[in-house]
Structure 1
Amino acid sequence: MRRILAPEFATLARDARRFALKAAVGGFAAQIAVAVGITAADRVRKSRAKEHEAPADEPLEAKVRGNEVKTYTFGRDLYRDMLAAIDDAQDYVYLASYIWKGDEVGQDFKDAVIRAADRGVLVCLVYDGFANLVVPGEFKEFPDSVHVLRFPILRSRLPIIDVRRTGRDHRKILVVDGRVGFVGGYNIGSLYANRWRDTHLRLQGPGVWELENAFVDFWNRHRGRRRPELPDSGSPHWDASVHAARNEPSRLIYPVRALYLEAIDRAMHRVWITQGYFIPDPEILHSLLGAAARGVDVRVIMPERSNHVIADLVARYYWAELLRGGVKLHLYQDVMVHAKTATVDGEWATIGTANIDRLSLRGNYEINLELVDPDQAAHMETIFRRDLERCREMTMAEWSQRPLHYRAMESFLRPLEFML
């Protein structure tokens, strides 16, 4: 056998690296091409599908350690109370929305904050630049009396992927005068008013500080020189029954994921989760399977078809393992369920903006409110049971019979998980 000399070995190694790089780039390009084709086909299908209205269930109210909590599952009810709070503002309005549509509902909110500013109220707004690219530019113009922070699409000129600079501002927060606050999954837009099933919460009481502090910290960190600095006060209340977990990529802080892992680890009876996009990482996946193995009733509600078909396909890669492990999967019918909630053992609940996927738990700016209270947890279980009536359960028998081309797509597109 001929002996390979060092120069020849170096050449072979260099050629192998080049081949591997080309193969990787080619494979990724093929995955993107397939994803684009599937997305286009899904848009055509949705344009032909019949539109359904979300259930107009009444909000539920509870008292949590000196706080009044109102939980919404119908957008029109939520928007009515949010607009009323803005119209009652006397000192300040802090509003952050990932998406702010330039439609009828969006105009209602724009008019309300301008009215508030006209009567001397300090108005500070945040919206995500990337999420609102399709919103007309003229709609995003406000008078100088309204302070607007457009979270930039790109925050680095360097061609690198850095989670501290690529995360989106996915939060939805409204705080008025420090007396009332709102947080949850609802963006601002007519679509969400009656055609999406989401969950949002209104808080009145000392817990509002949790939401206000989250807004103020973000604003002061990103405001630049042209916008006013907001007062940053401490809180006289130390009550763990209402607590905001805030993901902040610029500081490499991601407590929402830990919040879920801790709650699931404590579960003895029930773990009921509702998610718009459910792509669990290995730790959350194993935590859910471990709970199911010790006899906990683990259930997940998610949309039968979400507004992101690629996220659906990638998520389904994990269904077989979840179903084999005893986790029950329920598919919400007719409308998009976009909620980001969970409740455990009738004692603990969370409502917020973070999905159980990589983008939310390790990438975006997010906020989830954690509530340890049996009354609020009971309301969340009531909402979950209502939603179950509008779901169909996926079984292992049905899932094992899915066509081969679906299995191929799930495996082929799984590497795109890092983008979702």
Structure 2
Amino acid sequence: MMRLLRHARQVKGRDVLKAAGLLTGAAAAVPVLTAGAVMGVDAVLNHNRRKRRAPNPGTFHAQLEDSNLSIYTSGGELYDDMIQAIESAEKSVYLETYIWKADEVGQRFMDALNQAAERGVKVFVLYDGMANLVVPRSFYRQFSEQVRVYRLPVVGKRFWVGPLRHSGFNHSKILVVDDSIGFAGGYNIGSLYANEWRDTHVREIGAGVWGLQHAIAQLWNAAHDPEDQIEWVAPRAWNPEVIVQANLPVQLVYPIRNTYLKAIARAEHRIWITTPYFIPDQQILQALVAAAERGVDVRVMVPKTSNHVVADWVSRGFYGQLLDAGITILLYSASMIHAKVATIDGEWSTVGTANIDRLSLSYNYETNVEVTDPRFAAEMEKVYAADAEHCEELSSPEWRDRHVMARVVETALVPLRPLL
């Protein structure tokens, strides 16, 4: 009898475990299936969507004590100035990018870099392997033998030794020429980004360029032997007005998230943020809510429809909490807005490559330029105001009245938040 009871308990226990396993698998499948369905519907809807040229607010400038800063909102103007800087290079060119298309814009950069290397300039190029899987390898085989190239692998050779250190996308977009002029921001390289996306890049001529060069050198040197390193250069100033914050997974260093948290905590009057993908962790979210509750004018500008529909739906899951806290949500409708910028209290600003999501703040290689200066902040506010003219402000009643199926999709996608 005792043997039969033990056997019955074992069978029951296995059934419970089996049932639990099935329930867990079903729960995990729900967000994946929902994401797939959302992407399928979006593909159908976008099939015949008309392409639109992105608005161009202009190019803005600010002269600081030891830095000359320019804010680009036009890919065409930015690419022209980047190419001109490469063509004028005398000693060194460092280019780091995420996506590099094999189109006419991509070819311009390829030709300029090869020509610089062939006239004796040291040229280093770093780009992401995963982001460019669809770009023909034949395009990258055009590099001159004099150009030093590092394609960040999809999975690092030492991934199993340290997954966090040897993974992460190379999401930075940086150009440094002769250690004296630097560009950083959201623009990838390609015609699409020049014409159809609204993005923001900054050019710095001054002491802050050292931080951009150093960020590239850290990534390159971690992947190369001692005899193949980028040489250290001395900074021009110990504490420049322009500071570069760079996420470097290979060193387990992620300062950009803390930079945002500190700046938001200091805000007294206004926090204006633009990001293409808004999927904040709880600390970022609570910091913004707390700022709004103490009377700060918090505005978050996002695309009405981005190029990643799943990210859009995951982001919408936060809208109710933001609206309840009195945060203004601006939906940019003129085109895809890809800018990753913020300005606070007319004093502090950042322009860079990091989105306000977990991938950017806790996983990827990212580079943001941080400027604490009212002259630069004033120009950033002009850009924000120009972009706001192309936005629809989301109201709380409107959001509360959305279709019940929208609520279902948002809820089903909540488990994806830590992954995006």
Q: TM-score under structure 1 normalisation? A: 0.95
The alignment partner of 2:301 has SS state of strand
State yes or no: 1:211 paired with 2:212: yes
Partner of 1:182: 183
Q: Does the aligned pair in 2 maintain the 1:217–1:232 contact within 8 Å?
A: no
Alpha-carbon distance between aligned partners in 2 of 1:396 and 1:280, rounded to the nearest angstrom: 20
Alpha-carbon RMSD across the aligned residues, in angstroms, is 2.1
Distance change >3 Å, CA 176–CA 290, structure 1 → 2: same
Distance change >3 Å, CA 32–CA 237, structure 1 → 2: same
State yes or no: 1:172 paired with 2:177: no
Kindly provide the CA deviation profile for residues 104-131 of structure 1, in whole angstroms up to 9, marking residues without a partner as x.
Answer: 1001101110111111111110110000
Question: Which consecutive unaligned segments of at least 5 residues does structure 2 have?
Answer: none
Q: Does the aligned pair in 1 maintain the 2:58–2:74 contact within 8 Å?
A: yes
Moved more, 343-352 or 3-12: 3-12
Alpha-carbon distance between aligned partners in 2 of 1:34 and 1:389, rounded to the nearest angstrom: 34
Partner of 2:33: 33
Alpha-carbon distance between aligned partners in 1 of 2:212 and 2:160, rounded to the nearest angstrom: 34
Q: Which amino acid aligns with 2:60?
A: L
Post-superposition offset of 1:236: 4.5
Aligned residues between the structures: 418
Moved more, 62-71 or 240-249: 240-249
Partner of 2:316: 316
Partner of 1:85: 85
The alignment partner of 2:32 has SS state of helix
Moved more, 40-49 or 403-412: 40-49
Partner of 1:285: 285
The alignment partner of 1:178 has SS state of coil
Partner of 2:145: 144
Question: Which consecutive unaligned segments of at least 5 residues does structure 1 have?
Answer: none
Partner of 1:412: 412
State yes or no: 1:261 paired with 2:261: yes
Post-superposition offset of 1:144: 1.5
Alpha-carbon distance between aligned partners in 2 of 1:19 and 1:346, rounded to the nearest angstrom: 57
Q: Which amino acid aligns with 1:373?
A: D
Distance change >3 Å, CA 4–CA 206, structure 1 → 2: farther
Q: Does the aligned pair in 1 maintain the 2:208–2:240 contact within 8 Å?
A: no
Q: Which amino acid aligns with 1:265?
A: A
Distance change >3 Å, CA 5–CA 298, structure 1 → 2: farther
The residue correspondences of 1:185-196 to structure 2 (distance < 5 A) are 185-196=186-197
Distance change >3 Å, CA 254–CA 238, structure 1 → 2: same
Alpha-carbon distance between aligned partners in 2 of 1:10 and 1:156, rounded to the nearest angstrom: 44
Moved more, 92-101 or 6-15: 6-15
Moved more, 149-158 or 118-127: 149-158
Partner of 1:123: 123
Partner of 1:132: 132
Alpha-carbon distance between aligned partners in 1 of 2:162 and 2:16, rounded to the nearest angstrom: 25
Q: Does the aligned pair in 1 maintain the 2:57–2:386 contact within 8 Å?
A: no
Q: Which amino acid aligns with 2:389?
A: E
Partner of 2:385: 385
Moved more, 13-22 or 130-139: 13-22
Distance change >3 Å, CA 30–CA 230, structure 1 → 2: same
Alpha-carbon distance between aligned partners in 1 of 2:21 and 2:369, rounded to the nearest angstrom: 44
Post-superposition offset of 1:316: 0.5
Partner of 2:55: 55
Partner of 1:69: 69
Partner of 1:111: 111
The alignment partner of 2:371 has SS state of strand
Partner of 1:368: 368
The residue correspondences of 1:229-240 to structure 2 (distance < 5 A) are 229-240=229-240
Partner of 1:302: 302
Post-superposition offset of 1:13: 4.6
Q: Does the aligned pair in 2 maintain the 1:58–1:73 contact within 8 Å?
A: yes
Post-superposition offset of 1:6: 7.0
Q: Does the aligned pair in 2 maintain the 1:240–1:372 contact within 8 Å?
A: no
Distance change >3 Å, CA 114–CA 27, structure 1 → 2: same
Alpha-carbon distance between aligned partners in 1 of 2:330 and 2:47, rounded to the nearest angstrom: 25
Q: Which amino acid aligns with 2:203?
A: R
Alpha-carbon distance between aligned partners in 2 of 1:265 and 1:182, rounded to the nearest angstrom: 28
Kindly provide the CA deviation profile for residues 345-394 of structure 1, in whole angstroms up to 9, marking residues without a partner as x.
Answer: 00000000000001001110111111000000001111011111000000
Q: Which amino acid aligns with 1:175?
A: V
Q: Does the aligned pair in 2 maintain the 1:186–1:200 contact within 8 Å?
A: yes
Alpha-carbon distance between aligned partners in 2 of 1:172 and 1:56, rounded to the nearest angstrom: 20
Q: TM-score under structure 2 normalisation? A: 0.95
Moved more, 318-327 or 162-171: 162-171
Post-superposition offset of 1:199: 0.5
Post-superposition offset of 1:251: 2.1
Post-superposition offset of 1:246: 1.2
Q: Does the aligned pair in 2 maintain the 1:149–1:223 contact within 8 Å?
A: no
Alpha-carbon distance between aligned partners in 1 of 2:112 and 2:159, rounded to the nearest angstrom: 39
